[in-house]
């Protein structure tokens, strides 16, 4: 059984569909969870906004260095840091503007880098767990996703490099690699797809929670597929 009693966690992207599932799983396991909030409207559907074990940090942009420093500076004994925040866009390369490339790099790669860096500072010299979120197109060639795939490939490479760098400090770094997640937004976007083949946020949250937990005694440097049957 996973046990986060007396431990702090950060969950970026914690107000989204997958993030909310992760926050809920950690809270049920006894964690105090810090959740950054970019815009107030994110909280409208966030079920844990008034939970006693959830600490909200509002007005933060995770691609801005000082904002990420503020988030992690608000922790006192960080054990787990889970980096779900990011963005998505697709389209043929000839119509992909530089602004799309820059935005995806900021939302996915830069936010993950800054969060990892500040998490390590907050954890050291104690042990800890970091879980990033890559994406299937970063590993499996997918048409019309060049910019998105590149930004998520950066997350995967960062994960592998940090896992080696931090091994001696007992800070395990891993990443999950989702395919399409069974969320309301994705179902609406693809109404004719086989939604039952997609993994649900709650199912993926179980994998994330284990990788982020003290019960994960040995797994590091893994890019863990969470594809379900898709």
> What is the distance between the alpha carbons of residues 72 and 76, in angstroms, rounded to a whole number?
9
pLDDT tens digits along 195-229: 999 999 999 999 999 999 999 999 999 999 999 99
As separate numbers, helices (DSSP H) first and strands (DSSP E) second, the chain gives: 8, 7
Query: Edge-to-edge strand order for the sheet containing 32-37?
Result: 54-58, 32-37, 8-12, 78-83, 128-133, 171-178, 223-226
pLDDT tens digits along 20-64: 999 999 999 999 999 999 999 999 999 999 999 999 999 999 999
Q: Which of 38, 48, 148, 227 is catalytic?
A: 148
Which pair of structure tokens corresponds to residue 8? 């702090």
Active-site residue flag, 48: no
Q: Domains in the chain, ordered, with CATH?
A: 8-226 (3.40.50.720)
């Amino acid at each position: 059984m996973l046990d986060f009693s007396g431990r702090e966690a950060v969950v970026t992207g914690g107000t989204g569909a997958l993030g909310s599932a992760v926050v809920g799983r950690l809270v049920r396991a006894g964690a105090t969870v810090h959740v950054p909030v970019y815009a107030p409207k994110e909280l409208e559907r966030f079920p844990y906004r008034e939970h006693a074990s959830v600490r909200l940090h509002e007005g933060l942009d995770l691609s801005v260095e000082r904002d990420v420093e503020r988030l992690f500076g608000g922790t006192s004994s960080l054990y787990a840091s889970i980096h779900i925040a990011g963005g998505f866009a697709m389209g043929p390369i000839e119509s992909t503007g530089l602004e799309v490339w820059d935005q995806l790099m900021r939302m996915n790669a830069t936010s993950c880098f800054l969060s990892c860096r500040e998490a390590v500072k907050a954890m050291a010299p104690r042990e800890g767990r970091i879980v990033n979120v890559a994406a299937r197109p970063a590993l499996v060639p997918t048409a019309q996703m060049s910019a998105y795939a590149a930004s998520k490939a950066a997350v995967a490479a960062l994960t592998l490099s940090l896992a080696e760098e931090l091994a001696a400090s007992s800070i395990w770094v891993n990443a999950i690699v989702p395919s399409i997640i069974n969320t309301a937004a994705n179902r609406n976007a693809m109404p004719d797809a086989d939604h039952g083949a997609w993994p649900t946020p709650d199912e993926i949250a179980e994998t994330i929670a284990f990788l982020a937990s003290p019960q994960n005694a040995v797994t590091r440097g893994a890019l863990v597929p969470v594809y379900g049957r898709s």
